Amino acid sequence: MALQELWKNKLRTFLSLFGITIGIFCIIGVMATLGSLERNIQSEIKSFGTNTIYADKWDYSQGGGGNYPWWKYIKRPVMKYEEVEQIMKRTASAKYAAFRIQRNADAEYEDVTVKDINFYGMSEDFNKIQTVDIRYGRYISDAEFMQGSNAFVIGNEIAEALFVSAERALGKLVIVKGKKGIVIGVIKKQGNTMIGGWQFDKSIIAPYRYARTIMDERKASPLILVQGKDNLTSVALKDDLKGSMRAIRKLSPTEDDNFSLNDVNDWSNAFSQAFSGINLGGAIIGGISLIVGLFGVANIMFVSVKERTNQIGLKKAIGAKSRIILTEFLLEAAFLCLIGGLIGLLLVYGLTKILSGAFDFPVYISTSNMIWAIGICFVVGILAGIIPASQAARMNPVVAIRSK
């Protein structure tokens, strides 16, 4: 009966549920977009390595604003390749450690040039800390690392720019800063990243001992990556590593650290906290739209009760109990909100497809978001219908039948 009443008044029903549709679209749209954005960012953070500490002279947590004490960090000594071996000897909680140097450069093949690539010089255990997915060919072998061979693993974007087809890159000689390297592998396409990261698509990885012949190690942003053992937290690793680094650099108890230990998990937690606040703000904005829709539904329900006063009186006169009348109008309000909510979800689904194509990262509606939407619609329906439904349930049948 509730659905029949909604169907008989199509225009009024549409106008009523439109407010709920907009409210659900705002709330779930914001939650889906921000949730997908956070998931993509967290996935990129994980690409820096799990349970990993970045030892550098710079503190990444300080940010790059005007208050960043660069004058303090620039005086610190840079990380050194020799420190990697000492870290592994002194740090019981360390599973792997790797050294990295990096410079921007141009990659050339015959008359084709790709400008401003990331040229990385890595030590042996880098791919054990950071996964490097190879599409064609292979990764650098331990022997090539030890010998400092001119073996290059190049990104998919560079391979396609230089050789048209990435598969054709294998065995070719690529020139970087006047030095030749043989392409032994092509990295699987990574896609666009939102927070930078390794950007392997536009990168070349070479053995550290060869890379240092191309660039000045001290000016090549050297850093050390340290991954902890599986059964230990990054906090324990960081504490252990701090002691090792102070011992390696022979710092007295009164001297400040001349290095920074940057925990990947700290970046993840910082983004989680930031998105919690943004999600709350988005939910409040969407909630305001939903409240407007709630009052619209409530208004329509009052009108509906007024129009059907005679029917209510007749139903009660032939034996309908107050709870039956109450349930009928509550269901009508709930159905109205649920239909509006489903339309809102369909609109959000369309939004996710548009955003996924426009920004090159997946946007999706999670199961929890859909459950939230249905739950919100049901609660809003009950809240919107409770007063008019109670009014209808309390009517005196004789008075109701005589009303015009």
Evaluate whether residue 397 is within a structural domain: yes
Tens-digit pLDDT profile for residues 261-275: 988 777 777 777 777
Statement: the pTM of the whole predicted model exceeds 0.85: no
Same structural domain for residues 132 and 14? no
Q: How confident is the model at residue 69 (pLDDT cuts 50, 70, 90)?
A: confident
- Provide the residue range defining the domain that includes 97: 77-258
Same structural domain for residues 281 and 246? no
Tens-digit pLDDT profile for residues 4-37: 666 666 666 677 777 788 888 888 887 887 777 7
Evaluate whether residue 159 is within a structural domain: yes
Closest CA to 326 of 341, 340, 315: 315
Distance, CA of 75 to chain centre:
35
Same structural domain for residues 98 and 246? yes
Lowest mean pLDDT among 119-128, 163-172, 215-224, 296-305: 296-305
**Residue-level pLDDT at 393:** 86
Q: Pairing relation of β-strands 203-207 and 52-56?
A: unpaired
Record the tokens describing residue 189, joined without a space.
Answer: 């396409």
Q: Is the pLDDT of residue 62 over 80?
A: no
Same structural domain for residues 156 and 300? no
**Residue-level pLDDT at 109:** 92
Q: Is the pLDDT of residue 195 over 80?
A: no
Q: Measure the CA–CA gap between 198 and 327, rounded to whole angstroms.
A: 59
Across the range 293-305, mean pLDDT stands at: 81
Give the chain's domain count.
2
Q: Is the pLDDT of residue 2 over 70?
A: no
**Residue-level pLDDT at 3:** 67
Same structural domain for residues 274 and 251? no
Helix (H) or strand (E) run with residue 179 in it: strand 179-187
Across the range 266-293, mean pLDDT stands at: 75
Same structural domain for residues 88 and 207? yes
Q: Is the pLDDT of residue 183 over 90?
A: yes
The DSSP 8-state label assigned to residue 166 in this structure reads: G
Backbone dihedral angles phi then psi of residue 187, each to the nearest 5 degrees: -75, 140
Evaluate whether residue 135 is within a structural domain: yes
Across the range 81-95, mean pLDDT stands at: 93
Evaluate whether residue 63 is within a structural domain: no
Residue 170 in 3-state DSSP?
coil
**Residue-level pLDDT at 49:** 64
Evaluate whether residue 62 is within a structural domain: no
Q: Pairing relation of β-strands 203-207 and 260-263?
A: unpaired
105 forms bridges with which residues in the sheet? 117
Q: How confident is the model at residue 65 (pLDDT cuts 50, 70, 90)?
A: low
Exposed, middle or buried, 77 (CB in 10 Å: 0-12/13-18/19+)?
exposed
**Residue-level pLDDT at 79:** 94
